[in-house]
Amino acid sequence: MSNKNPLWLVSTILIILLFGTPSITSVKAQTTPTVSVIFPNSTNSSLNEYKVGQTFRVNISVNCPDIGIWSWQVGIYFNKDVLECTDLGEGNFFSGKYTLGFIAGTIHNDLGYVTINGDSLREPETTGVKGSGVLMWFEFRVKGYGSSLLNLTLSPPDLTCGTKLNQRINNDVVPISPITLYDGTFNNQGLATVGGTWVPVDKIALLAPYIGISIALIALMLITVVYIKRVRHEKEKQQEVKH
């Protein structure tokens, strides 16, 4: 009898609705890949940690959990008055995979950038690498006090600098878009000393104009004396000839 109770039926349906296996599968949002500049302090900024003359490395880390990266390129801009790039190398992101080999960019310390570095998977690999890791690293020497952005600018059309990730779809390699770039910030302004250095005074150079004038005057005087003597001597000679 109790089975015919409508209340029992409603509660059964509710229980099924609440705890039953849902027929709709959840759709997980794709995470936007990120590329970040990471200092040894594990953040993307370094404040008052490095004096002039010291060197440090930054890792270019990638986080791409949902899309397989087939190839990548990284370039970087920096303040040439504060930093100079002394070395660079490949990270571990593609380690153990078949790759074309790391292509190192050109360091332009006079202009403050490094042209694109990169690497790409090759066959027999068929799919890109997902997850996180270090694409590459840069070593910088601190040459001055101030601040510098370590700027992973998106690739400009001429591909001289900039950062890009690519995926492989069928046999085509296409850029992953969008990607988020987290630049690094370097600042050591607070460590600047309120000192300086002495530069020796060149006392000879200081007196040079006065020494020059004196020599010129003495020389002029001597020339005049010699000239007068000569004129006098000639006249005497002429007198002697006359007589």
Nearer to other proteins, 1 or 204 (CB): 204
CA trace torsion 21, 31, 44, 57 (10° rounding): 110
Looking only at the bridges linking them, the beta strands covering 129-142 and 107-108 are unpaired
Containing H/E element for 130?
Answer: strand 129-142
210 binds other proteins (CB under 8 A): yes
Containing H/E element for 113?
Answer: strand 113-120
141 binds other proteins (CB under 8 A): no
225 binds other proteins (CB under 8 A): yes
- Candidate residues 55, 95, 228, 230; the one interacting with other proteins per rule CB under 8 A: 228
CA trace torsion 36, 40, 44, 46 (10° rounding): -150
Pull the structure tokens for residue 42. Answer: 């594990």
Q: Which amino acid is at 127?
A: T
Q: Are 51 and 89 in contact (CB under 8 A)?
A: no
215 binds other proteins (CB under 8 A): no
110 binds other proteins (CB under 8 A): no
Q: Which amino acid is at 91?
A: G
Window of 15-23, 59-67, 176-184, 201-209 that interacts with other proteins by CB under 8 A: 201-209
- Candidate residues 89, 224, 226, 237; the one interacting with other proteins per rule CB under 8 A: 224
- Candidate residues 15, 103, 159, 213; the one interacting with other proteins per rule CB under 8 A: 213
Looking only at the bridges linking them, the beta strands covering 184-187 and 147-150 are antiparallel
Output the smallest distance, CB 190 to other proteins, in A. Answer: 4
Window of 20-28, 83-91, 165-173, 190-198 that interacts with other proteins by CB under 8 A: 190-198
- Candidate residues 1, 17, 194, 241; the one interacting with other proteins per rule CB under 8 A: 194
Containing H/E element for 220?
Answer: helix 203-242
- Candidate residues 206, 212, 230, 237; the one interacting with other proteins per rule CB under 8 A: 206
Nearest to 184 by CA among 161, 158, 153, 157: 153
| Rg, C-alpha atoms of the chain | 39
231 binds other proteins (CB under 8 A): yes
- Candidate residues 220, 226, 230, 237; the one interacting with other proteins per rule CB under 8 A: 220
Site of interaction with other proteins (CB under 8 A)? 48, 51-53, 143-144, 189-201, 203, 205-207, 210, 213-214, 217-218, 220-221, 224-225, 228, 231-232, 235, 239, 243
